[in-house]
Each structure stands twice: as structure tokens, then as C-alpha cells.
Structure 1
């Protein structure tokens, strides 16, 4: 018998989750991440899978030879990974090139995302900080002085992240995904990011339609009642539609207005109709 692979565990072996198949071997890394080793080629760099927020409590490979699927579970998610597809994505190696505005020379090359890049934005109050989004559904914060990642988000959505923007006066970071999810973070000292709010544009659209339908129904009933009493129908209808649907704080109103303008200017793939309804919902 010949030993092919030896690993040092950071927890009791009896509590360590592992998974094996004919081609791959998987083990949790720092609790919530996964390291996948290619048994057929041990010289190959292990594949790092990031997606869980909590400690991985179970993992197993599928029975099929192709594609090789790995199922992992934690308290927050159950994720099914296509191992071979993930390997191909890492081999493509999405890169960010920082160029000199005068000479167009490449100043630095940043790699780390597991999927194609979708956007990048320099921090308005710190020119040495860059934030990028990717189809791997995460955003990364880069320190251009050291060319390293100083913060990386969890997987935020089931769909790719499309754009990132800063609200300089509020020190906020806003990220949007392809399924209409909007995530807002506050930026503190030493690159500390704290979630502020999360909005689902699709749910807001549905809520807006329901509110408009209820208001129209109430206005119709009021018109019928006032016609029966001989009152001025136009006055009643105007008063009915002046009723506020939703109230927001001045800070949130500013965020929504600024976000809407930036999303339209950058022509994101989020449906324009959805955004228009979203803006009307808060403008009433």
C-alpha cells in the first residue's frame, strides 16, 4: 500500500467531513470553504470552492462519472457544484488590468475571480482601492498598493453580480445582481463592510401593482358612492390617489434615486420596465 495524499486537519478527525469519488477528493477548508483535490493528478493545485456562510456539515459526490457533481450542506445553504465546470472556469482566470492613463502601460494585473468580470469601480475617496464584481456572484475589494484582496463577499445571489457603485457622501457601496437584487453596504475603516439593507426589485414591483390595484378599487367604490350622493366625483378621485403608498427616510430616498440614475446610465441588463415601476413606486 502506497500513501498518495496526506492532509493536516484543523479539527478533530471524527468531526471532519470528507467526500471521495474515483477522480476527486474533497475536504472542508476553514470550516465554510471546500478544497477539492484531483486524485489522478496530485501535482495539480487544489480547487477552492467558496459559497457557504456557515460551517459545512455534510458533503458527498454524485454517482455519475460525468459531470462530476459535489453536494455540500451547511446551516444556510445546500449547494450542488459541477467540479469539472468550476475547474475550467479557474483555468480561464479572469483578470483585471490596471493601466496608466498617460502611457497606457499595464501597472498591475489582478486575478482571483472564478468567473468573467462584469464591472469594476475605483473608490472615490481612496484611489488605491478598487472593487470588482463577477459572474461568480461575489465582489472583491483590492488594495492596489499591495495588489491583494483585502475583502471578499460571500456568494450574494443565485445570479451574476452586474454592477457596483459608491455613494461618496454616505460612504455606502451598492451592488446589483441580474435577478433584481440590490445590496447596500456601509464602508468603515480598515476595509470593514457592514450590510445596511437588501432590496428585491421584483417583489417591490409586485407590491406596487397590488397597491395600485387596491387604490383603483377604492377609488371606483368612492366614485360610485359619491355619484349616488350627488358629490363632485373628480375631487373624490384626486383625494384617493393622493394617499401615500409607502414612506421612506430621506437617506433611503437619496440612495434609491442615485441608484436608479446609475443603473440606467450604465445600461444594466435588469429590465428597464422593472426599474421604471420601481422608481414610480417610491415617487408617489
Structure 2
């Protein structure tokens, strides 16, 4: 396998705007009367008789991929039906071969010469730098078998960093703008590649902790990356650049292109030393770098933010959250701040220990297969039905207060409520005319909210298993993608197209003997907020367990937007949060059975197909950690926070569920036993349990040992 040189030609177009010739290949052997393979993402054809050539129509880094193995001329080529892994089959008179394109591509990329290696003891990772500007990060954690965590393209990372700094400079007032570095001038060409000449540890704990308010020991490890064009600081937690220094930006430097380099920085010091040799000359230079000045552009990205999930003041009289109770004509008490003391993350003494706060076992989660019957009839045993589940969420039960119920929405217009141990026959709630996109429990556990693509949110009574409120679809111009109870069940939040809607609801289940079929529950729109751009909201998240003014939304244009409903406006926008549209945003909402430090409630996670999971902090609006390792390339798999706030669970396409610790970028547990893609995950609020659902409609329960 290799990438051929010299016989491929490309162009931007040769016949006007109607036809564009993307690729022209010259083969030594004729390829007429040969079965070819063509798809929207890849094309495959024989080359020079017995070589298989794969051309990507979207990813330039694939151009082209040559697969060798046949001895006789290839006569037929075809693609497989699965997206992950993407397979291709080639046939000749001697062999029929099946190739995995992802594995073949990784072997080609690893063929680039390794120029540098580094082992980071804190994160237990091995970092390898290649001549083509790629960084490969491998996990050294036990039971991970040196698996590849991620691959970092330094050129793309530096371009993204430059765009963010440029955007920040443009948003500042004219008098506060600092002079632009030469590398940020519009239209300047970037270098072709950044060969990794040297790697060294970089301690930025003092600078990072002073910005986000965390302890130095909690700061993520960083890495010096020395290349021929400059120095870069890479964060090993989120795999983002913290600082960039380009030699050509400083005209006083004698060396503009380095042939070799070495870096050294000491913990607690505000400066670093770099030794350089010239690529084309005999010069040797020693540079002294002031870290605070180098990190200034990075610190400007989060400057001036004062967002917090916990309210810092009373609700304003002009706020849409300021409402009056008709019966008492009084204003509700001001939002109370959840005050907890710093103490170990354990459950209350009345509830059995969850296992979340203890050291992880080798098999922390395992399938629950020994469910006892408890004298129930056969009809109350574990259900063997298959359901097409689209969403999954544990309830906070009002009756026992221990999360006894499990709700899920279905693609066949139904909603189901199971017992948390998945025994017995589920309660069925029917009435929607479209696939159920969202299910959510109220804070007191009495009501279940479901939203459907038919444009109608509905509220159901869990005790009576009946509909108590149906909001007309005339309030929503487009299908509802997300909905939930908000502000301690006082409101309902809905997203419809590029708009966030706040509804005030009043639920009354009493019956009138004369008009018993007429609902007394009512709901009215209170406030509407459009997104910053004309993009559809794909997911929303807000805390309902205590008063909070902030609502987080994710858009199809890859942005994350924060709304302050106390002020009634948009508070912040994170552009390019992912490389693809964000399909779920999830907050660390905690649980009434656990205690957390109040700062931890400002953490939230986002996920996008093919772009992993990112952990964000509202105080800095920056990605603090990135979780990769779970295959997720074609289907939007769900994520969930554990009640203790120490873990994030995710579904995956390899028939496994993954559990990540927030302090590590690699997974701690990989849960097997599924028969299809794991589409949804949910933690129990009171017990060490994780529920999963797959595309073939099976629910499964894992219990911490």
C-alpha cells in the first residue's frame, strides 16, 4: 500500500460549470470491460492491471490509496453495504480479496517516518510525531493494549487556532485590539506540512488554573511540539492548541526554518528555552520564550465570561421567568443556590452505595442477568419484545424517590415506561402521529413529557397512564426536535427549527362530570428566542432540578449557543464546536442522591457523528477534554453523565457501550453483549446502573460490581 506519485492530475474544471473533471489517471493496462465501483464518498478501479486504486471524493487526505496483493489483473470491484467498517471487495483470476479501507489508510499514514517519541506519565499516553505533520497518541493504560487514541493533524489544528484568534481580535473594540501577527493576515498561504522534529513536556498548570479557577493538580498535561516552521503547545486532554509561535512572525530571529530543535520548560517557571539549528545554514540559536505572552491570545478567547448554571442573583421583573401564581397573586421566592460542602462524592446513608465514588473495578459494569422473579406472575418478568427506541431517559420517581421507572420513545409513535429492572410489561402511551423524538420526566416524577415529529408535545400522567395535556401544533412552525420540563416544572422548553420557545403550563387532572372529556390543563407561550444564525436546533439542555437561568442549544451549523432567560437574550455562541453538526448536548445535572462541588455543574458535553465527545466548561467556553475511542461514524449515538459527575457514557457502532472518566481521555470500561449499534445510554439517578438501547430494539441493564 502506498500513495502513487506523478501520474495523477486534478483540476478545478474544464467544461465550464456543468462538468468538472476531478481526477485523471493514466493506467499502463487497459481497463475496459472491467466492473468498477462508484459511491458518493469513494471510487475504486483497477490500475496497471493488478493494483486497486481508491479515490476519495470528499477527503483529500485519501488521494489516492493504492492496494496491492493481486497477481492477476483485477476484473471486478464492489463496495460493501456497511459504513463502518467500509469494506471493498476485488476479484481476479487468482484471488478474491476483502479490504477494510480504514485499516488500510491507517497503515499508509503510519508509513511516514517517525521523527520523535514521548511518553507522558501523567496521562499514560505515548505520543509519536511523523514527518508528514501527524501526531499519533496511544494509550498505555492497562487493558487498552496500546490502542490508538487519536491522530492530530497539526496543520489543520493551527489553521483552526488562527481562525479563532482572528475572530476574537475582530470582536474586540478598536482601542483594545493588539497588532495582528504576520501569520494572521488575511490571504496568507500556510505551510504545506509541519514535520514533528521534537516533543517535550510543557507545564502550564499555573497559567491554566489561574484562568479557570481549578487547582493546579487538575490542569491537563500539555506538550511542546517543535516543527520546522515554529513551536506549538498541544493540550493532551482536548487535543487542541494552547499556543502557536511561528518563526517568520518575528523578523529579528536569525533562523526562519529549523532543521532540528529541542525545548525545555520547568514547572512553575514563566519562561521556556528552545535550541534551534537552521535547515539551510549553519546557524544555531537559543530562544527564551515568555509563556504568559505566548498564551495571551489563548486567554483572550475566554476573557470576560461570567456564565454559571447556578444563579447569581434574583430573577428580574422583566425576565420571562418572572411569573405570578393566579391563586395567590404573589411572586415565587427567588431562585435558591444549591449549596453543598466539599466532601467525597458518596450517596446519602439511606441509599445503598452507588459505586461511583469508589475506585473502578476491572469489571465495573456487567449485564444484569440474575433478575429475581419476586413472586410476580410470568407476565411481569423481563420483557422479550423488541422496540425501535429513539430516546432513553431514567425518571426521578415521585413515589419511591429511587428512580424506579425507565421511559423511552419509539419510532412507531409510541412511548413506553418500564420498571427500572426491565421486568414486567411496560406501560404504553399512544397518541402521536410521528416518531417520538424526546421523552423527559418532570422533577416530581408525576408527569412524562414526550415530543414528536408531528409537532405536538404531550404530557402524560404516570399514575393513570393517560394524556393530561396536548399542545397544539399551530404554536410550532417546524417539527419539534427537543423538549423538556424547566425551572422546577414551571415551564416547558421546546426547540422548533431555529427557535427556542418557553411555554407556561398548568396541569389539572380533575374531571368535570358534564364535560369529562375536556382537558382542564392548559399551556400558553411565554417567550421566543431565535438562534444567532438561521440554523435548526438539533438538541437543547437545561437544568430542572433547581432554578437555573441558562439554556444550552446545539445547532446544525456546528455551533453551541447559550441563552440567558433571565435577561431574555443570547449570552454566548461557540462557533465550530465540532467538525460536524452536533446531535446531542448534555449537562452534568447531578442527582438528589449525590453531592458535587458547585463548580462541576458548569460542565457539559457535546457529541457529533465522527467527531467524538467534547467536554466544555461554561466559565471558559472552551473544550477542556476530548473523549475518543468509541466508533461513531454513521449513526448519532447518545451520551449521558453519571449522577456523581465522574463518568460519561456513550453508545458506539461496534456493539459496545463506552464509559469514560472525566479525568482521562481514554475509556475506562467497554461494555459488551449488544447485538447492534448502541444508540442510547442512561444512568440511574440512585443506583449504580447503566441502561443501553440498540438499533434492533433491545434494552439492556448493566450494574456496577
| Band the TM-score falls in, shorter-chain normalisation | 0.3 to 0.5
TM-score of the two chains, using structure 1 as the length reference: 0.42
Query: What is the TM-score with the length of structure 2 in the denominator?
Result: 0.19
The structure with the greater share of residues assigned to strand is: 2
